[in-house]
Structure 1
Amino acid sequence: MKGMASNTAFDRGRGISVGSVFGRSFDVIRSNPVATLGTSFLVMALPQLLFGLIGTGTTFANTPRLGLYVTAGLGGLVIGVLWLVASGALVHATIAHDRGRKADLAEVLRVGATRALPLFAVYLLFTIGVSIGTLLLFVPGVMLAVMWSVALPAIVAERTGVYGAFGRSRALTKGARWPVFGIMLLAVVIYTLASATVGVASIAGNGTYAAIASGARVAAPRLPLLAQLLQAAVSTVVLTWFTTVGTSLFVELRHWKDGPDADRLADIFA
């Protein structure tokens, strides 16, 4: 009956909308908060919190420049790898939700870890391609960003391979690129505003760039631990929502193009 209801409700002619994509994203988080919010907190927010605590310690008081560069470099590398793991994990959780089941925390983290390298390759090529297109006349960069907008979910959900992920994204977005552009733009604006709000608190708690760049031998002030935990919680929600929006867009496009077919992905979760 559930499958019949899903097929009846599906309308190939309705296209995709902000409501359907954002609504699906909220449903994923609400139905499985441990695998979604838990992943973002453990893999992204908590490490960032720890690096923030380390970065405002006495190391900067003694060697501000060296401490800043070494900590920032190592921190950026670790955070980048963890972001890939979290992205793959959240994609898997969203796809599992589309199949009507919950993926546990260990499962999504395992998938995220195994798909981190392909995700990196896709992300790198995406960034290079969009950057070159933007440098040319800006518009080509936007067009490529829209056309390749669901390449990252595709390589996790369908194991398409690096180049296949771009082809799959191009095929899914064809005929719906204006709605995709609008959904992406709105999501980026919301994410940027939320991140900026969190960033204001970070700047207030970690001193000014000028003080660090001048080599002043002072330890940067830090926010109270409770405020930093609150900041980490907000970051967790924002990162989770933004990532699941991208995957929800992929799911909506696939339903629009191919129709709902839960059995088609059974081999991925075998």
Structure 2
Amino acid sequence: MASRTTVDPGIGGSRGISVGNVFGRSANVIKDNPLATLGTSFALIALPQLLLGQIGLSAAVFDNIRAGSYALAGLYGIVVGLLWLIASGALVQATVAHDEGRPANPREMLRVGVSRCLPLFAVYMLFTLGISAGMMFLVVPGIMLAVMWSVSLPAIVAERPGVFGAFGRSRALTKGARWHVFGILLLAFVIYLLVSMAVGVASVAGYGSLGALTGGGQVRMPIPTQPSLVFQLLQSIVSTVVLTWFTTVGASLFIELRDWKEGPDADRLADIFA
């Protein structure tokens, strides 16, 4: 899809970028399409890990790492990462569909997620390498690049401008609103981190390893015991909700920035036929 022409934000609309706009849009995407969004995330991310845990693969990965072998862990990471990229692309497509005023279609979401998986991987790797390099120079350049490129992943799915074009599109959309973008992303990350920590603490308790972690003042690697399936399922559901919300926040930020710069689709059509 050809990228849109970026215009002065004053032309696109008077509504500014705010936490309420972005978080509200993200919540509405999930609320209006719970099965398509949460169901897709659960099926692609939580359920495979849950099933692999039940057949003992998670424990096998843990044992291999303890033995100094990382081949199985690497394969496991590739599979999980691939499914995460597909789910991310699917959730961006759900957000785009919501912006267009239509319900998210799981089949369409999966088709887009699979077709955009490799470009997403390329953008993600370049994004990670660029931020890491920036962080080496007193942190600030890394943060600046992270904000500037913050919507490159949604852009590669929603508009298909090419791998390098996605970074240029993100840079253009965030220009003039980067402090707002930084604040929104920081708040979203803090919320995500706090909830993830809570889930992690619950997971440690569920595995019964708190005593091994703190007992005797010695640092030891605990041998996990299998928690109940009900506990694992609840943990997976919470993780699915958090990850889905965080991903749709990024996609919603892209939509909000695009509407702010260029006006909503309805406004652009009205200008054309005026």
Conserved? CA contact 1:56–1:220, under 8 Å: no
Q: Is the 8 A contact 2:61 2:72 kept in 1?
A: no
The whole-number CA distance in structure 1 between the counterparts of 2:154 and 2:202 is 32
CA distance in 2, matches of 1:161, 1:245: 22
* Number of aligned residue pairs: 252
Contact 1:18/1:183 (8 A) holds in 2:
yes
TM-score for both structures, normalised by structure 2: 0.84
Within 2, Cα distance between the matches of 1:61 and 1:27? 39
> What is the rounded CA distance, in whole Å, between the counterparts of 1:60 and 1:250 in structure 2?
37
Q: Is residue 56–residue 221 contact of structure 1 (8 Å, CA) maintained in 2?
A: no
Deviation of 1:33 (Å): 0.9
What is the letter of the counterpart of residue 95 of structure 2?
A: T
Q: 1:63 to 1:250 in 2, by over 3 A?
A: closer
* Structure 2 Cα separation of the partners of residues 100 and 62 of structure 1: 49
Residue by residue over 1:142-169, the C-alpha shift from the partner in whole angstroms, topping out at 9 and shown as x without a partner, is 0000000000000100011000000000
Q: Does residue 1:239 correspond to 2:243, yes or no?
A: yes
**Separation in 2 of the partners of 1:120 and 1:86?**
12
Cα distance between partner residues in 1 of 2:125 and 2:24? 29
Aligned counterparts of 1:77 and 1:184: Cα–Cα separation in 2? 26
Q: Against the structure 1 CA distance between its residues 263 and 179, is the aligned structure 2 distance closer, same or farther, given a 3 Å change threshold?
A: closer
Q: Which sits farther off after the overlay, 66-75 or 101-110?
A: 66-75
Contact 2:192 2:246 in 1 (8 A): yes
Structure 2: gaps (5+ residues) = 1-10, 214-218, 269-274
* Shift of residue 112, structure 1, vs aligned partner: 0.2
Partner residue of 1:7?
none
Distance 2:196 2:251 in 1: 20
1:65 shift after superposition: 3.2
Cα shift readout 1:135-194 (whole Å, capped 9, x = no counterpart) = 111000000000000000001000110000000000000000000000000000000011
1:183 — aligned with what? Answer: 184
Alpha-carbon distance, 1:103 to partner: 2.3
Moved more, 45-54 or 242-251: 45-54
- The CA deviation string for residues 17-48 of structure 1, in whole angstroms up to 9 with x for no partner, is 00000000000001011110011100011122
**1:221 matched residue in structure 2:** 225
Q: Is the 8 A contact 1:119 1:155 kept in 2?
A: yes
Corresponding residue for residue 110 of structure 1: 111
Give the partner amino acid of 1:128.
L
Cα distance in 1 for partners of 2:208, 2:71 equals: 18
Partners in 1 of 2:207 and 2:79 — Cα distance? 20
Whether the aligned pair in 2 keeps the contact of 1:64 and 1:215 (CA below 8 Å) is no
Q: Return closer, same or farther for 1:139/1:63 CA change in 2, 3 Å cut-off.
A: closer
Q: Distance in 2 between matches of 1:20 and 1:95?
A: 15
| Alpha carbons 1:98, 1:262 under 8 Å: kept | no
Sort the Cα spacing of 1:61 and 1:193 in 2 relative to 1 into closer, same or farther, 3 A: closer
Q: C-alpha displacement at 1:201, in angstroms?
A: 2.3
Q: Distance in 1 between matches of 2:113 and 2:86?
A: 4
Task: Give the C-alpha shift of residue 72 in structure 1.
Answer: 2.5
Deviation at 1:52, TM superposition (A): 3.1
**What CA distance in whole angstroms lies between the structure 2 residues aligned with 1:167 and 1:64?**
40
Whether the 8 Å contact between 2:96 and 2:158 is mirrored in structure 1 is: yes
- Note if contact 2:12-2:262 (Cα within 8 Å) is conserved in structure 1: no
What TM-score do you get using the length of structure 1 for normalisation? Answer: 0.85
Counterparts of 1:263 and 1:82, CA distance in 2: 36
The equivalent residue for 2:7 is: none
Deviation at 1:208, TM superposition (A): 5.4
CA apart distance, 1:49: 1.7
Distance 1:204 1:60, change over 3 A: farther
Q: Partner of 1:79 in structure 2? A: 80
Q: AA paired with 1:240?
A: T
* Aligned partner of residue 156 in structure 1, secondary structure: helix
Give the aligned residue type for 2:180: P
8 A Cα contact 1:148 1:169, kept in partner: yes
Please show how residues 116-135 of structure 1 align to structure 2 within 5 Å: 116-135=117-136
Query: Which residue identity is paired with 2:157?
Result: V
